[in-house]
Amino acid sequence: MTTDTIEVELPDEAATARAGRLLGRMAMAGTVVAMMGPLGAGKTTFTRAMAEGLEVADTGAVSSPTFTLLQHYPGRLTMHHSDAYRLKNPAEFDDLGAAEWLSAGGVCVVEWADRVAHLLPDDLLALALEIAGPVGRVLRARATGPEHAALLERWRAGLVGW
């Protein structure tokens, strides 16, 4: 029996990066990661590591798109990385061409996804990072449909034994 949620303690930034890299390696065309968490929780660190797993050539260029709102990074699959933090309203997310890049067959990562949740696909991976001490984090992930439930199950198996 599978459970469509996981919770993982990440003791430091290196563990956060390992989890992100693993998810990037396992991501498939159409993967959508809806990220939530407070400022400084590690959303961009996790996303940069996902880019490594997706074989993005210049992962050093992966940064928070808080001001640019959307970045595209070519790799094994193109990563579309957006940030809804500064959007004044959800219509601005649509103005970024969200419908197009969410269905383009790449991997989409949306930070502050709760602000645009009704514009995201029904089947996605909802991922929350919480601060747990000076360097630790707690990662909670939930699959909302069958495609991402299968991805979550593979990711869970890869995280076993940490």
> Tens digit of pLDDT for each residue in 86-117?
888 888 988 888 888 888 899 999 999 999 99
If you average pLDDT over every residue of the chain, what do you get?
91
Q: Note the pLDDT of residue 1.
A: 36
C-alpha dihedral, 10 to 14 to 16 to 18, nearest 10°: -110
Q: Note the pLDDT of residue 151.
A: 97
Cα–Cα dist 26/49, whole Å: 12
CATH topology of domain 5-159: Rossmann fold (3.40.50)
DSSP secondary structure letter of residue 53: H
| Exposed/middle/buried for residue 117 (C-beta within 10 Å: 0-12, 13-18, 19+) | middle
